[in-house]
Structure 1
Amino acid sequence: MARSRTAENGAGGLPRPEERVKVRFPSGDTECAAWHYPGTNGGCVIMTGGLAVTKEPGTDRFAERFHQAGFSVLAFDYRRLGESGGQPRQVVRIKDELADWDAAITFARALPEVDPTKLAIWAFSLSGGHIFRVAARHPDLAAAIAQTPNADGPAATRNATRHQKPTALLRTTALGLLDAMGGLIGRSPRLLPLVGPPGTVALLTTPDVLDNVLDQDNKYPEWQQTVAARSTFRLGLYRPGRDASQIRSPLLVVVAEQDRSALAAPAVEAAQRAPHAELVRVGGGHYAPFTNAHEEVVAAELSFLQRHLVP
């Protein structure tokens, strides 16, 4: 277990006691980088960001609140993203991300202050969809939280095309095909912006992702807000919500009623199929839990974690 310590800054930029430690754990043929926030109550929340969203913009706001409540947190980057290892960079592969989740769970169980029977998983967007599949594969988890999850890739893809202009959609598809063919012969990825206005070549042009709410103040300048074009094809076929009926752990699903990116309806249906699920609905778009609904969502998630990890 590799560790490197970093000093966090308190009010006025003055150093304060360290609250998180940089760690790395093996996954596949490389290592994933993570922040470890040591807690006090034995529970641990394992977290990661959404599609090509690294751990800092994707988890900081929630991880700090969970940690303040006494939970340990392990917030990690998938391989080929952020500070994690792996080549080629910015390539998203669902199978590998699910394997990274398995590795993170194994690593969290061995953390010295963590009770291995009190593990929870948390993620949003594409990774929120992974929560259904990961929880189904790990019935011994104490809890799972899927926040604005992409539970049905085909439905989300059909909706996304309604918010893109035909010419730009053709150009984006062509770029994906060229990148996929280039990948077969070892060429570097052709990168797409994660978001953009309709008419531009970008992964998503839905209305609720155009404002960069995850990094409004440029707090995370090292976050590369791109994804390899070759990554797009399998995303449209991914339907993790179908695994919800196999989840045996308590599950919390948070949906935003006006979500135009991941869509609320498939996530609601997944929650209804899960044997031990709770559903929280909030107003707003895809990133409402990070903005106008943040306090409401944090309160619901903390209540859920406290009930199931430290009863």
Structure 2
Amino acid sequence: MTTVEKHVGVEFACAGTRLAASHYCGTNGACVVMTGGLGVTKEPGTERFAEAFHAAGFSVLAFDHRGIGASAGLPRQVQTMRGQAADWEAAIEFAAALPEVDPARVAAWGFSTSAGHAVRLAARHPELAAVIAQSPNVHGPAATRNAARYQRVGAMLRMTGRGLLDAVGGLFGRPARLIALGGAPGEVAVLTTPDGALGDAALNPGGSHPEWLQAIAARSTFGVMAFRPGREAARITCPALFVVCDDDRSVLPGPGIRAAERAPYGELVRVPGGHYAPFLDQHDVAVRAEIEFLQRHLRTD
């Protein structure tokens, strides 16, 4: 069976904005809602995990945030924390209404910044049955301070200037000023950490997703810097699995570990490697742990 045959394209709305998703119809009545990290579209960000979950019997709804990928929304490539949170809520509501899905058995899965959104979503929506936070960015200020260690002063100043110009330009309806998602120290990019530079190899091996624009609006970085969903971990009432990479030099392992400890029903899986290890040499380990977690908490047969 090809990837195309495994899922169908669907659409749903969030405050009038059309969001695009891939629906994998499962057999066990449970559904996992997924999306990629900051600026990452659903195909490179979720496909390998979505296929594994689907093969285990779960339905999957993998969606693109507004402004990127196949979803509508203007201006393009602008990613705000408030907008992404609203998109998540709309996706959960849509997934719960799918004909094969038991609305009491819907889980959220996220990677990096989207994992932070999944944590916050679980804290604010007790109807969620489970949450998986993989390489979670749950403390934006800490991640920002750490990223600065691997960036050159001149590049940091250029990035800040571009962000400010982009924010002002946005007030006048001008197109976004883009910055790359990953790059080397000295380049203007969201991540110039040692493992952050592996993003393309991990998510886009061999250029398999040429349609993915690996850039976001410079103004989008300001919201990430202040993003602190880990503070809400203690309010999560559903089972929560945190998959933390011990050598993560992009979002750091410490905040994710502490969030897992604060969550009343938190579970922690630690794997060796950097930020993208679950997509690279630790992929099989991460998938097995996540499927086992979902089977324990979402299946009834």
TM-score by length of 1: 0.94
Structure 1 unmatched runs, 5+: 1-7, 11-15
How much has 1:202 moved relative to structure 2? 1.1
Instruction: Tell me the CA shift for residue 19 of structure 1.
Output: 1.6
Provide, for residues 171-195 of structure 1, a one-character-per-residue CA deviation record: whole Å limited to 9, x for no partner: 1111001101111111110000111
Q: CA deviation at 1:201?
A: 1.1
Q: Which residue of 2 aligns with 1:144?
A: 131
1:308 aligns with 2:292: no
Whole-angstrom distance in 2 between the partners of 1:192 and 1:184 = 19
Task: Return the offset for 1:302.
Answer: 0.3
**Gaps (5+ residues) in structure 2?**
none
Q: Which residue of 1 aligns with 2:68?
A: 81
**Partner Cα distance (2:116, 2:240) in 1:** 12
What is the CA-CA distance between 1:235 and the residue it aligns to? 1.1
Query: What SS class does the counterpart of residue 62 from structure 2 fall into?
Result: strand
Separation of aligned partners in 1, 2:104 and 2:48: 25
| Coordinate RMSD, CA, aligned | 1.0
Alignment match of 1:126 (pick from 98, 109, 113): 113
Number of the residue aligned with 1:225:
214
Aligned to 1:5: none
Letter in 2 for 1:199: G
Q: Residue 243 in 1 paired to residue 229 in 2?
A: no
User: Aligned-pair distance for 1:233?
Assistant: 1.0
1:51 corresponding residue in structure 2: 38
- Residue 256 of structure 1 aligns with which residue? 245
Q: Distance in 2 between matches of 1:153 and 1:222?
A: 28
**Of 266, 287, 293, which aligns to 1:298?**
287
Q: Equivalent residue of 1:297, what SS?
A: helix
1:230-256 CA-partner distances (Å, limit 9, x unpaired)? 111121111000010000010000000
1:4 counterpart residue number: none
- Secondary structure of 2:268's partner? strand
1:158 aligns with 2:141: no
Residue 3 of structure 1 is matched in structure 2 by none
**1:74-101 CA distance string (max 9 Å, x none):** 0000010100000000001100101111
Deviates more, 1:282-291 or 1:132-141: 132-141
Q: Which amino acid aligns with 1:233?
A: F
* Partner-residue secondary structure (3-state), 1:210: helix
Aligned mates of 1:69, 1:132 — CA distance in 2: 24
For 1:234 and 1:58, the matched residues in 2 are separated by 20
* CA distance in 1: counterparts of 2:251 and 2:18, whole angstroms: 29
**Structure 1 residue 112 corresponds to structure 2 residue 99:** yes
3-state SS of 1:220 partner = coil
* TM-score normalised by L of structure 2: 0.97
Is residue 167 from structure 1 mapped to residue 131 from structure 2 by the alignment?
A: no
Task: Work out the CA distance in 1 between the residues paired with 2:44 and 2:68.
Answer: 13
Which contiguous aligned blocks of 4+ residues in structure 1 show a shift greater than 4 angstroms?
Answer: none
Q: Could you say what secondary structure the match of 2:243 adopts? A: strand
Q: Aligned pair 1:234/2:223, yes or no?
A: yes
Query: 282-291 vs 210-219, which deviates more?
Result: 210-219
Question: Are 2:262 and 1:273 equivalent residues in the alignment?
Answer: yes
- Mapping of 1:200-211 within 5 angstroms? 200-211=187-198
Partner deviation per Cα, 1:152-188 (whole Å, 9 max, x = no partner) = 0000000000000001111111100110111111111
Tell me by how many angstroms 1:29 deviates: 2.4
Residue 20 of structure 1, CA deviation: 0.5
Which amino acid in the other structure matches residue 56 of structure 2?
A
* Residues in 2 aligned to 1:31 and 1:262: alpha-carbon distance in whole angstroms: 31
Deviation at 1:265, TM superposition (A): 0.1
Task: Supply the distance in 2 between the matched residues of 1:119 and 1:201 (Cα, whole angstroms).
Answer: 38
Amino acid at match of 1:77: D
Residue 124 of structure 1, CA deviation:
0.6
